[in-house]
Amino acid sequence: MRIEYNGHACFTIKTSLGTVVTDPFGEDIPYPVRELVGDIVTVSHDHFDHNAVKRVKGNPYVVRDQGEFTYKGIKIKGIKAAHDKNRGAQRGQITIFVIEAEGLKVCHLGDLGEMLNDTQLKAIGEIDILLVPVGGFYTIEPEEARTIIKDINPRIAIPMHYKTTYVKDWSIKPVDEFLKNISYPVKRIEDNKVEITPETLPKSTEVYLLKI
């Protein structure tokens, strides 16, 4: 499995069965414009910086909802959560996605804005790779992200949805705020992509920081 970080909450997950693109953003978001091609697109919520499905080439199958789906042998599970700490009263609901292929389970938390309860954690289950928002303001805060990593206990946690030089005027925090008090080893990948197999997973949780 190859995981490519396109910026914000958008990843391209390439497997031998097919390719999944998560939360594609529109071209008005000031990240470098990369060509997005996928068999499946997951959309955690219908905000402009997460739902630009038309950008993704390949006539993909689009998943937005709760439930369990299988397409081209890739298993997708959608789990309901809130975009804020008031059960969605401020920003609405989101869908967390668990993506399973090649013996690996990837969890994309989308714009999660609340701490996860036991029911949600049980539905998420055992996760190998966690894609977690860490910038706060619109999502969980950096310290909350650290707690959620502890609760889910993945083998790899990949930060997303944080301030960078491309979005320096946004109200979210830089990734350094999340890394400041981190208790896990941090592996800085000098690329926007990383290859992962069940055999190369670390024995315990590590943070992989992908370059944009």
**Model pTM above 0.85:** yes
Residue 84: pLDDT over 70: no
| Domain edges within the chain | 2-210
2-210: what fold?
Metallo-beta-lactamase; Chain A (3.60.15)
Position 52 scores a pLDDT of 82
Burial of 184 (0-12, 13-18, 19+ CB in 10 A): middle
Report the alpha-carbon distance of residue 60 to residue 165 in Å, rounded.
31
Residue 88: pLDDT over 70: no
Closest listed residue to residue 45, CA positions, set 77, 91, 99, 101: 91
Region 90-94: what's the mean pLDDT? 70
Report the alpha-carbon distance of residue 68 to residue 148 in Å, rounded.
23
Region 31-47: what's the mean pLDDT? 88
Position 181 scores a pLDDT of 86
Provide the token pair at 9.
């909450």
Pairing of β 129-133 and β 19-22: unpaired
Residue 71: pLDDT over 60: yes
